Amino acid sequence: MSEENQFGENLGEFSEDAEMSLDVFELSVNVQDTDLRIDTWLTQRLPEFSRARLQKLIAQGHVLVNNQPIAKKQKLQVNDQITVTIPPPTSLDLIPEHIPLDILYEDDQLIILNKPAGMVVHPAPGHSSGTLVHALLSHCPLAAIGGVHRPGIVHRLDRDTSGAIVVAKTDFTHQSLQGQIQAKTARREYLGVVVGSPREDMGLVDLPLGRHPVDRQKQTVVEIADGGRSAQTYWEVLERLGNFTIIKFRLGTGRTHQIRVHSNRMGYPIVGDPVYGCGRGIKVKLPGQALHAWQLELIQPVTGETIKVTAPLPMYFEKLLTRLRQQANCT
């Protein structure tokens, strides 16, 4: 599952106003929450919404403090009364598209796919067709709770990250799977190739993440007090190949670009990452970052059965590993 944010970020006209049906939340500020920024506090109190979604609601005047509009950076005071109004969704018909799917597991509640690199999970600005959602709509029914443009989508993978992704067919299963992600009972493991060789064999990166203050397309380490969201990535060295290393990553959280940012912050960027990494010394053409959602383990919400799938590596990834092993044996 995705190093991406579970609920999506900054999707503009496609989903920021189409994420939920009309609803109103009435909240009260406790003593321990005073001096928190309103967007930080709302993210904690309403985890079903992304920070970007809440910030847009604030900017649009859908969030009131004591019946008055508030700026996203304004801090809270004890006993403040917060009203959050979720506007009705805008409709946009998604036309099913017959796109081949690599199905790893399927039953009447969910489907697990091996997403290819280059495929966007759901519609977003610049990606109004050819997404995984378009392909799924021609294959099976999807849960409506995911939103107008993200039916059934429980989590995401970056466009150029391949591998296992689960999609819900029913609202009950969608809620259950999101609960498993939040409770960390769903296990998500990735394989990545990084530049460099860590001194240790395993470790944990525990650094909060948020949107880059200058480049809004990037994520970076941001202190929680400044609006960052906690993020934990566990890592373990599987194989050292000269100046490159195969690492298994396990997500403790699922923030946007989490593995890519944490790996780069460690000093070991993902090979081929066009935003945070590099491709030094690589003679294999890659569609993007050498990062693959390798294994996914979850509980089937209806039967209680443990489902564990392994997504085979794409051919270009296997070719990369072969080339790196050859290079390592020649040095």
In tens, the pLDDT along 94-134 reads: 889 999 999 999 999 999 999 999 999 988 767 778 899 99
Contact 270, 264 (CB under 8 A): yes
So what's the pLDDT on residue 138? 92
Is residue 123 classed exposed, middle or buried when 0-12, 13-18 and 19+ CB atoms within 10 A define those classes?
buried
Active-site residue, from 17, 33, 39, 158: 158
Contact 206, 236 (CB under 8 A): no
What superfamily would CATH give domain 22-86?
RNA-binding S4 domain (3.10.290.10)
Task: Quote the DSSP letter at residue 225.
Answer: G
CA atoms within 13 A on the CB side of 149: 27
So what's the pLDDT on residue 19? 32
So what's the pLDDT on residue 161? 95
Q: Which of 161-170, 178-187, 313-322 has the lowest mean pLDDT?
A: 178-187
How many CB atoms within 10 Å of residue 16? 20
Concatenating the DSSP letter of every residue in 62-123 gives -EEETTEE--TTPBP-TT-EEEEEEPPPPP-PPPP------EEEE-SSEEEEEEPTT--SS-
So what's the pLDDT on residue 93? 67
Q: Read off the pLDDT band of 147 (50, 70, 90).
A: low
Q: Read off the pLDDT band of 322 (50, 70, 90).
A: very high
Tens digits of residue pLDDT in 2-52: 444 333 333 322 222 233 344 788 888 887 777 788 888 888 888 777 777
Higher pLDDT, 19 or 202: 202
CATH fold group of domain 95-182: Pseudouridine synthase (3.30.2350)
CA atoms within 13 A on the CB side of 238: 15
Asked if 108 is an active-site residue, the reply is: no
So what's the pLDDT on residue 172? 92
Higher pLDDT, 243 or 8: 243
Mean pLDDT over 261-286 rounds to: 84
Residue pointed to by tokens 């496609």: 14
- Can you tell me the distance from the alpha carbon of 249 to that of 2, in angstroms, rounded to the nearest whole number? 11
Write down how long the chain is. Answer: 331
187-329: what CATH class? alpha beta
- Can you tell me the distance from the alpha carbon of 159 to that of 144, in angstroms, rounded to the nearest whole number? 23
So what's the pLDDT on residue 16? 27
Contact 123, 50 (CB under 8 A): no
So what's the pLDDT on residue 88? 62
For a pLDDT cut of 70, what percent of the chain falls above it?
87
Is residue 32 classed exposed, middle or buried when 0-12, 13-18 and 19+ CB atoms within 10 A define those classes?
exposed
Report the chain's terminal Cα–Cα distance, integer Å: 36
Q: What residue ranges do the domains of the chain occupy? A: 22-86, 95-182, 187-329
Tell me the sheet residues that pair with 26. 83
How many CB atoms within 10 Å of residue 71? 13
Q: Read off the pLDDT band of 285 (50, 70, 90).
A: confident
Residue pointed to by tokens 């940012």: 261
So what's the pLDDT on residue 288? 85
Mean pLDDT over 277-292 rounds to: 78
How many CB atoms within 10 Å of residue 212? 15
So what's the pLDDT on residue 280? 58
Please check whether the two domains, 22-86 and 95-182, share a CATH topology.
Answer: no
Mean pLDDT over 242-267 rounds to: 94
- Can you tell me the distance from the alpha carbon of 249 to that of 192, in angstroms, rounded to the nearest whole number? 7
The pLDDT mean for the chain works out to 85
For residue 60, pLDDT over 50 is answered with yes
For residue 157, pLDDT over 50 is answered with yes
Q: Read off the pLDDT band of 281 (50, 70, 90).
A: low
